[in-house]
């Protein structure tokens, strides 16, 4: 028997949900939350409500972004919408149909002016699985047609270019931290030794370091950037053992400090003392790790991809392969 539920999130909006006797679990993109209804129609949905659905719900049939990445995707979309005078707090999803004075959809106009990178991040909320989910909730996805159909250029990837002088400076300066600043030394070990990102360094605990059945040294990354609950990455045994030598308890953070130490102080140290000019100094250490792992294992992109937690071997190869190493002929 069909039922009707009325929601009133704000006095200025009234929209309706209609349901029928069909399980959401039968959908190719079901919700994790159990329910026995499917939404059929929904009008005047505020943009903020769409964002809430995207950030608070999960799809079980495919890998998806972690909560932090979802929040960043929403912030990017808000930036784009506000540029065109659309306030997510006041406007509804019909505003995604808006065009410029020249009749150009605002998403196309943004790409023409700013390029594809920011749009690619924002448009993540209209990924195939999420469009299916919105349909299940009765949301009129035709509002998003221009955004879904938008053609974007491929991701621009800059190959990693290691520098011998910079590398020697990093190793010399950071090795001294072992006796002067244990926290920063462990940041160095996690980034340069195991290839962790700044956000992953903040969450890492000693209990995340473990071995598998074959004795491979691993670190478990929780809520990884590539999606899922966790990701086990193979580690260089020397760096794995070095970090573990500082272990207190399994539940202890490897670097128990305020976020600013990792996101501000450590990058500042790398710039001042090590001479790193890259916009993301800690990520530069991660790239040295990827380069070292790849070269030490026969230029094998698959091994480096697993160690770094990239979503594809192609991405790893494009960044780290460099020139092929030729054997002397005489």
What are the structural domain ranges in the chain? 3-149, 164-320
**Confidence (pLDDT) at 62:** 59
Instruction: Say what the pTM is.
Output: 0.64
For 115: left if phi > 0, alpha if psi spans -120 to 50, otherwise beta; the answer is: left
**Confidence (pLDDT) at 27:** 32
Question: CA of 180: how far to CAs of 131, 174, 242, 330, in Å?
Answer: 52, 10, 16, 49
**Confidence (pLDDT) at 115:** 83
**Confidence (pLDDT) at 329:** 85
Per DSSP, the three-state class of 40 is: strand
Give the pLDDT band of residue 162 (cuts 50, 70, 90). Answer: very high
Position 101 pLDDT exceeds 70: yes
Give the pLDDT band of residue 226 (cuts 50, 70, 90). Answer: confident
> What percent of the chain clears pLDDT 70, i.e. is strictly above it?
83
User: Do 92 and 44 meet the contact criterion of CB atoms below 8 Å apart?
Assistant: yes
Between 81 and 320, the more confident residue is 81
Position 59 pLDDT exceeds 70: yes
**Confidence (pLDDT) at 218:** 97
- Architecture in CATH of 164-320: Orthogonal Bundle (1.10)
**Confidence (pLDDT) at 22:** 33
User: Do 205 and 251 meet the contact criterion of CB atoms below 8 Å apart?
Assistant: yes
Question: CA of 34: how far to CAs of 22, 24, 25, 38, 137, in Å?
Answer: 13, 8, 8, 11, 14
pLDDT digits (tens, 9 = 90+) for 6-54: 433 433 333 333 333 333 333 333 333 434 334 444 456 899 999 999 9
The structure tokens 């000019």 sit at: 277
Between 10 and 276, the more confident residue is 276
The structure tokens 């071997």 sit at: 313
**Confidence (pLDDT) at 324:** 67
Position 187 pLDDT exceeds 50: yes
Position 4 pLDDT exceeds 80: no
**Confidence (pLDDT) at 8:** 39
Flag the least confident range among 41-55, 100-114, 222-236: 41-55
Position 283 pLDDT exceeds 50: yes
Give the pLDDT band of residue 63 (cuts 50, 70, 90). Answer: low
> What percent of the chain clears pLDDT 90, i.e. is strictly above it?
59
Question: CA of 259: how far to CAs of 187, 195, 200, 281, in Å?
Answer: 12, 18, 11, 16
């Amino acid at each position: 028997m069909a039922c009707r539920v009325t929601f009133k999130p704000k006095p200025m909006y009234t929209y309706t949900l209609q349901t029928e006797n069909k399980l959401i679990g039968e959908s190719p993109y079901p919700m994790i939350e159990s329910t026995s209804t499917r939404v059929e129609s929904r009008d005047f949905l505020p943009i903020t409500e769409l964002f809430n659905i995207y950030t608070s719900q999960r799809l079980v049939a495919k890998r998806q972004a972690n909560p932090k990445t979802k929040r960043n995707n929403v912030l990017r979309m808000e930036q784009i919408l506000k540029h065109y005078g659309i306030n997510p707090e006041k406007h509804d999803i019909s505003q995604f149909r808006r065009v410029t004075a020249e009749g150009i959809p605002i998403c196309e106009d943004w790409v023409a002016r700013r390029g594809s990178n920011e749009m690619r991040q924002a448009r993540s909320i209209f990924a195939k699985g999420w469009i299916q989910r919105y349909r299940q909730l009765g949301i009129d996805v035709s509002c998003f047609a221009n955004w879904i159909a938008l053609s974007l250029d491929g991701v621009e990837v800059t190959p990693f270019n290691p520098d011998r002088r910079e590398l020697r400076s990093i190793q010399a300066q950071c090795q001294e931290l072992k006796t002067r600043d244990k926290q920063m030394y462990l940041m160095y070990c996690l980034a340069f030794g195991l290839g962790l990102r700044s956000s992953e360094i903040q969450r890492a605990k000693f209990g995340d370091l473990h071995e598998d059945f074959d004795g491979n040294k691993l670190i478990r990354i929780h809520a990884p950037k590539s999606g899922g609950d966790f990701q086990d990455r193979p580690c260089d045994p020397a760096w794995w053992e070095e970090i573990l030598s500082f272990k207190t308890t399994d539940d202890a953070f490897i670097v128990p400090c305020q976020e600013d130490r990792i996101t501000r102080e450590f990058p500042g140290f790398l710039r001042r003392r090590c001479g790193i000019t890259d916009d993301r100094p800690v990520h530069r250490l991660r790239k040295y790790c990827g380069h070292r792992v790849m070269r030490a294992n026969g230029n094998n992109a698959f091994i480096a991809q697993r160690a770094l937690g990239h979503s594809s071997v192609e991405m790893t190869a494009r960044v780290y392969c460099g020139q092929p190493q030729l054997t002397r002929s005489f």
